[in-house]
Amino acid sequence: MSNTLKVVVTVIVVLIIALALYFWYAAAHSNNAANRSADVSAPFSSGTSNMAMLPGGASNSDAALTQDTAAIDAQMNGLASDNANTNTSLNDQPLSQ
């Protein structure tokens, strides 16, 4: 195989790889841009209702927020209990036999 043919084949392979990467990158970022524009316009499309639904389908009413904060408090109390148990086990003294 001549040097000229090797160079031509190498250039063609590099161009194919570069085009594939470009189209992959463009496709990945065009989907993100569409999602971001939908996310930005979503809060304003429902008006100023206090009972608007959040993107995950959850409600942002006072009762729902109170329930969520109670669940967070319960999780934090569980974390504090787990932390205390871990500290106790780390400070445990070995028994002499």
Q: What is the pLDDT of residues 28-46, one digit of tens each?
A: 888 665 556 555 555 555 5
CA distances from residue 20 to 3, 6, 54, 76 in whole angstroms, order as listed = 26, 21, 38, 48
5: how many CB neighbours lie within 10 A of its CB?
Answer: 9
Give, for 9, the enclosing helix (H) or strand (E).
helix 3-45
Q: How confident is the model at residue 1 (pLDDT cuts 50, 70, 90)?
A: confident
**Three-class SS of residue 74?**
helix
Which range is least confidently modeled, 9-18, 21-30, 53-62?
53-62
Task: Kindly tell me if the per-residue pLDDT of 49 is higher than 80.
Answer: no
**What is the per-residue burial (b if ≥16 Cβ within 10 Å, else e) of 67-94?**
eeeeeeeeeeeeeeeeeeeeeeeeeeee
Q: How confident is the model at residue 22 (pLDDT cuts 50, 70, 90)?
A: very high
> Among residues of the chain, what percentage have pLDDT more than 70?
72
The pTM of the full predicted model, rounded to 2 decimals, is 0.36
